[in-house]
Amino acid sequence: MTIQDPIILGISIALAAIFFSIVLFTGFRTSILRESGKKGAPCSLARFQIWLWTLIIPGIAIINWALRPNDPFTLNETCLILLGISVGIGVTSKVIVSSKKASKSNIYAFKDDLQKGSWYNELIMDENGDFSMSRLQNLIFTFVFIAVFIIGFIHQEKLPNFEYQAYVLMGISGGTYLTTKGINRKREDSIQETNKQVDTN
């Protein structure tokens, strides 16, 4: 790795460390990663993905700036697309959650069971408390692409560029997760309507 200026490198590492600390603190000490940002709600996979990419990309971009102090601090196309995909999935997930007709108690009906496990269980289990293969696949792909991004930066000494096939794969994975989430929400709404009709009769 070619170091242009040790002082600038030191400053960038310090800034990156501060940035990492703030994002980590926000993620683990607040309810920002919780569904709808509500305390006591299960962890949201979509919010977790946005948080991960927000943790990784700007921090690495700061270090990348130290290697090229004469260049303006910018994010390349890959960084913007990765952030855009994660935000898009997060916004769509929020819309799906907001469209739910069930009461608050039913939305988090499985919360007590999840609290017996870990945050990982919350990320890979759906709203009914069942294991979700689409969630697990999406989570694995997220970690894989993050690893590829970091390794690419270390080897190339610059912000890596992904091929379009990677974006397609991420989109398919995210789309599958959102579709499954939407189907589960619709199924829950149908069950709620059926139960109301039974109670009325």
Tens of pLDDT along 73-125?
788 999 999 999 999 999 988 888 776 544 444 444 444 444 445 777 888 88
Per-residue pLDDT at 7 = 78
Give me 166's structure tokens: 């990677």
Q: Which ranges of the chain would DSSP assign to H, the alpha helix?
A: 6-29, 45-67, 77-98, 104-107, 111-114, 119-124, 133-156, 164-200
Among 101, 102, 94, which residue's Cα sits nearest to residue 35?
Answer: 94
Judge contact between 58 and 19, C-beta under 8 A.
yes
Give me 3's structure tokens: 């170091």
- Say whether pLDDT at 193 is over 50: yes
Per-residue pLDDT at 187 = 58
Question: Average pLDDT of 146-154?
Answer: 94
CA distance 26 to 42: 16
Judge contact between 57 and 151, C-beta under 8 A.
no
Per-residue pLDDT at 113 = 45
Band (22; pLDDT cuts 50, 70, 90): very high
**Burial profile 12-38: b = 16 or more Cβ within 10 angstroms, e = fewer:** beebbeebeeebeeebeeeeebbbeee
CA distance 151 to 129: 35
Judge contact between 125 and 114, C-beta under 8 A.
yes
- Say whether pLDDT at 185 is over 70: no
Judge contact between 132 and 180, C-beta under 8 A.
yes
